[in-house]
């Protein structure tokens, strides 16, 4: 999985073990496999029907694959002949993702309509340009630190519900909601809609720098218990259009 390498490398440089999965399903064909309008009754609520269709897609193609990766890494942690033997703190596991990767994360941290989908091994979540549908109705079931980032030019996140600050009455603290200046949906994945990589010079790209800084501080605080990270998390940056947060639970 080659997306968001700038962030993965930054996390790895701080001692985090990064495991990433490449989902090989075709998003749209997979989604439309479940979208059979012959199953939709005119008396039903179309919004509820689409919620079910979307959740079925994630239940089939995304959530089990992400959990399988976590299972694999924890198995490697227990194998004496593994490169990762004893190297993973099983009480300090974070998860994150971009776009549908963020939705996959949401589905596993408590916002799925089926509470049995929650994976209690995950302790903190980073959501990059992540929509909330179909999981926005159960955001209040999440009881772990969340950091959500999106760009001010992200036309794909055009519903108010996709801005986590809009949902602040349902989001349990601690939470952090950042809007990065001059960033679009694909800034966070370091790609241009899959057409190519962001030009070299990440160290000079203020957008990627601020993503790294806040993501590292977030994980350092909640996975490493590094309270010095609160200094950064308690202030905004010129690279952000807005920053809303609540540190204390």
- pLDDT 10s digits, 181-218: 999 998 898 754 444 445 445 557 889 999 999 999 99
**Tokens 């596991």 belong to which residue?**
93
Confidence (pLDDT) at 123: 97
Cα–Cα distance, 163 to 21 (Å, whole number): 26
Strand 240-246 relative to strand 122-128: parallel, antiparallel, unpaired? unpaired
110 touches 104 (CB < 8 A): no
Q: Which two tokens stand for residue 14?
A: 């701080």
Tens-digit pLDDT profile for residues 112-142: 989 999 999 999 999 999 998 888 888 999 9
Confidence (pLDDT) at 105: 95
Low-confidence ranges of the chain (pLDDT < 70): 1-2, 25-47, 165-168, 191-203, 249
Q: How buried is 200 (Cβ within 10 angstroms: 0-12 exposed, 13-18 middle, 19+ buried)?
A: exposed
pTM: 0.87
Confidence (pLDDT) at 231: 97
Q: What angle do CA 226, 231, 233 make, to 5 degrees?
A: 85
Q: Which two tokens stand for residue 137?
A: 């109705």
């Amino acid at each position: 999985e080659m997306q968001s390498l700038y962030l993965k490398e930054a996390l790895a440089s701080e001692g985090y073990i990064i495991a990433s999965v490449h989902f090989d399903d075709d998003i749209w064909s997979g989604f439309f496999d479940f979208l059979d309008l012959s199953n939709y009754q005119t008396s039903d609520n179309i919004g509820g029907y689409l919620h079910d269709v979307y959740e079925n897609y994630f239940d089939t193609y995304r959530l089990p694959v992400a959990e399988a990766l976590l299972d694999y890494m924890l198995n490697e942690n227990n194998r004496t002949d593994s490169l990762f033997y004893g190297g993973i703190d099983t009480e300090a596991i974070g998860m994150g993702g971009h776009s549908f990767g963020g939705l996959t994360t949401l589905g596993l941290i408590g916002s799925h309509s089926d509470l049995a989908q929650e994976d209690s091994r995950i302790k903190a979540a980073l959501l990059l340009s992540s929509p909330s549908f179909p999981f926005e109705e159960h955001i209040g079931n999440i009881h772990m630190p969340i950091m959500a980032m999106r760009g001010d030019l992200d036309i794909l996140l055009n519903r108010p519900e996709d801005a986590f600050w809009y949902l602040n009455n349902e989001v349990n603290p601690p939470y952090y909601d950042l809007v990065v200046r001059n960033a679009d949906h694909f800034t966070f994945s370091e790609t241009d809609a899959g057409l190519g990589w962001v030009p070299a010079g990440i160290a000079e790209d203020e957008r990627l720098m601020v993503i790294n800084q806040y993501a590292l501080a977030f994980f350092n605080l909640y996975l490493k218990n590094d309270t010095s990270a609160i200094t950064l998390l308690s202030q905004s940056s010129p690279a952000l259009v807005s920053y809303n947060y609540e540190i204390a639970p």
